[in-house]
A and B are shown apart, each in its own frame.
Chain A
Amino acid sequence: MMLSRIADSLFWIGRYMERADNTARILDVNYHMLLEQPPNTYKLRWDPLIAVTGERTRFYQKHEDASAQTAFDFLGISEDNPNSIKQCIMNARENARAIRDRLSRELWEDINSLYHRVMRVHDQGEDLTRFCDAVKRGGHRFHGVCDATLARDEGWHFVQAGCVLERAEMTARILDVHYHQLLEGPPILNESRNHLWMAVLKSVAAFEFYKRQYGQIEPAKVSELLLLDARHPRSVRFNLSALQSSLYAISGSVPGTYANEAERLTGKIHERLMYDSIEEIFAGGLHNFLTDLQESCRTIGEQITGAYFHYAVVA
């Protein structure tokens, strides 16, 4: 038995924690990559990052220029950006506080500690690297504590669903924005291209795995790994597969069937990611594919909400 409101909160704890973690990763990786780049390219490189988070308009209302400082302010600690790391952690914690009786004590204390860590930034000023590091560690701890202390009931599957849906969407967006930038942005040196793709891989913790798997950096291969790999925990396919399992566990559907629109859509994209080759995807246009993918992720989120959290009661 699980209240709709509780399931809703669990789902969003997963999403917000994952969003904070992803944002910290891209911020941190970009910052370190740029330390070795000519300073005049900075603006160019911070702008796409803002785009990845989907908050470009809001950013330029507040800041003239995209720089390490403004990006950190906006993506890291701003209270005006509803998707800043700080806001995400606050929201995750607010959701957790509302249902703390349903969490393990360990999980609540862990989220609460991370919240207090992130709130301290307010008083002291903060170093970007240390801040991102704390958030990333917090993200890892979150997964670890969930794994080690939560019963594998529906609640766990809602947290999972929130995490993997968020992660799938984020990976798709990172790939989309950077690909776009490389194709349509001002020409950059080959060497810098490599750096950029390496940064992309690092931001999804896939650099080492890629090197072992493919060796040389090639955009098509990077795309293949990020989209279609069945084993890497940040590839879109991996996450949609996990999403499908969790949705089935919640509804009791068996593979090959679906109980609601969220399951149907998840199954549909997952199928494509299983059987399409990267060449086929490129032939149809990567950007189109990624746009569809992101749109589907949004719809899946809405459909989960409609099926489980906010359904109408007929008296």
Chain B
Amino acid sequence: MPLESFEEQRKLADLSYLVQGITFTVYSDGRGTERLFPFDLVPRIIPRSEWDVIERGLAQRVMALNLYLQDIYGAQRILKDQVIPRNLVFSCKHFRREMVGLNVPRDIYIHVSGIDLVRDSRTGQYLVLEDNARSPSGISYVLENRLVMRRTFPRAFEVSEVMPVDHYPSELARILRSLSPRSGERPVVVLLTPGLYNSAYFEHCFLAQEMGIELVEGRDLVVVDDVVYMKTIHGLTRVDVIYRRVDDDFLDPLAFRSDSMVGAAGLINAYRAGNIALANAIGTGVADDKAIYAYVPAFIKYYLGEDPILMNVDTYLCSNPEHLCYVLDHLHELVVKAVGESGGYGMLMGPSSDKKTIEDFRQRLKADPRNYIAQPVIPLSRVPSFDPAIGGMSPRHVDLRPYCLYDGEKVTIVPGGLTRVALQRGSLVVNSSQGGGSKDTWVLRGDE
């Protein structure tokens, strides 16, 4: 395709995102500006043989994480067997004491997870960078990107065999319905959103619509006698399952943060009484804490008796004095991350930071070592991307977030996932809040 028409297609695609309102909100200017999530029309291609390894590796990891949560909020065998230090688990910011001893429907904690992978350009191996077991977002971009690509390059889909991704919403809806505590009735499933001003609001709408379920806000819900209802024009309707995209802290002002305006008072009592199912369960943050991450390979061994298929990135736990010492000596060559944060916040990129920032982090690490981990900088693999500045192709660093659905028996992963791309040449940062963009990810039916 000639470059001019490529550029034209690119503008058309941008316009289609704007008209559809597929935007995220940036609050830096006080007005809450809506921005397009930059989209690169050049797809990232993953051969089937590579994908098979990723798929098996992720399924294994999700099963292990779920068993770990079941154990931590149940018998706590893993602590008794000293596979992971008790302190490390109980000091997690997102550990929820309230969940200990509580039975969750069908023993599923992590119904939905997004596991970030990077491909080490030296070895070609995929490594797990972090687990997201609370409410990872981004799947709507996967589905919308595919839609735009199909409209823009229908011919390309005719000739290359790309595996479909569209079944995600129906698979998620199936899992959610299976959680209903009321048997016999047609379950009422809702998606709970913090509302219009949440940066992932577009995704919440999109998923609710695709699944044909009600999108609710906290103010739509009332809890009466430990039963959750929503307010409709003809009175109250009972709710059975909530796919919640509201953080634990804000779910119920009576149980957690009392200043929460986006939750429903009494929700946790209804959950305890077994009258409502939540996905994901409360307290799953004790599985995706970045310090816990270092132990996930050990979980796989402990719970499944298998060797991990996907490796971790080497990780230094600053809570360990020896590791801390090493980290403090090598700050300029490491990536430091706060354990309970996500989205690129609370992070130090050693090699590209100035002295002042590094010293600042040194103080923070010394003051609160448990809160940090460090990893070597992984040379991310690069893929061709369109660069409007030069009007041609140019290599850019990428990562990959596949989305995993767990129904209590098996893990389903739509082929591909969200490929995030650093739009600046040479940059390793792919977060949307830091100027990253996305690409469609094509998993091919074969290797060609």
Contacts and interface: CB of A to CB of B under 8 A. Distances in A.
B222 interface: yes
A109 interface: yes
Nearest to A154: B233
A108 B21 contact: yes
B20 A101 contact: no
B330 interface: no
Interface string B213-232: 01111011010110000111
A3 B230 contact: yes
B214 A3 contact: yes
Given A97-B196, A101-B208, A313-B236, A5 B219 contact: yes
A101 B18 CA distance: 17
Contacts of B204: 101
Given A313-B222, A315-B224, A4 B232 contact: yes
A116 interface: yes
Interface in A65-107: 94, 97-102, 105
Main secondary structure of the interface of A (DSSP, over half): helix
Interface in A286-315: 308-309, 311, 313, 315
A1 interface: yes
7 contacts: A3-B216, A4-B233, A98-B195, A109-B19, A112-B19, A116-B18, A315-B222
B352 interface: no
Contacts of B196: 94, 97-98
A116 B201 CA distance: 19
Nearest to B202: A100
A277 interface: no
Interface of A: 1-5, 7, 94, 97-102, 105, 108-109, 112-113, 116, 154, 250, 308-309, 311, 313, 315
Interface string B62-94: 000000000000000000000000000000000
A1 B20 contact: no
B232 A2 contact: yes
A5 B216 CA distance: 9
Given A1-B214, A313-B222, A315-B224, A7 B20 contact: no
Contact of B21 (A2, A112, A315): A112
A112 B17 CA distance: 11
B206 interface: yes
A224 to B, nearest CB: 36
Interface string B263-297: 00000000000000000000000000000000000
Contacts of A112: 19-21
Contacts of A154: 233
Contacts of B222: 313, 315
Interface of B: 18-21, 195-196, 201, 204-206, 208-209, 214-217, 219-220, 222, 224-225, 230-234, 236-237
B205 A101 contact: yes
A4 B20 CA distance: 25
Nearest to A95: B196
B19 A3 contact: no
Contacts of A101: 204-206, 208-209, 215
B20 A109 contact: yes
A105 B20 CA distance: 8
Given A3-B216, A101-B208, A315-B224, A250 B233 contact: yes
Most buried by A among B20, B21, B214: B21
B212 to A, nearest CB: 9
A98 B234 CA distance: 21
Contacts of B219: 5
Nearest to A2: B233
Nearest to B237: A1
Nearest 3 pairs of A and B residues by beta carbon? A101-B209, A101-B205, A101-B208
A192 B207 CA distance: 58
Nearest to B188: A1
A108 B215 CA distance: 16
A100 B205 contact: yes
Contacts of A315: 222, 224-225
A113 B19 contact: yes
Contacts of A308: 233
B92 to A, nearest CB: 34
B21 A97 contact: yes
Nearest to A313: B222
A88 B234 CA distance: 28
Contacts of B233: 2-4, 7, 154, 250, 308-309
A170 to B, nearest CB: 25
Contacts of A5: 217, 219-220, 231
A182 to B, nearest CB: 43
Nearest to B190: A3
Nearest to B225: A315
Contacts of A102: 209, 215
B35 to A, nearest CB: 14
Contacts of A98: 195-196
Contacts of A4: 220, 231-233
A258 B181 CA distance: 39
Contacts of B225: 315
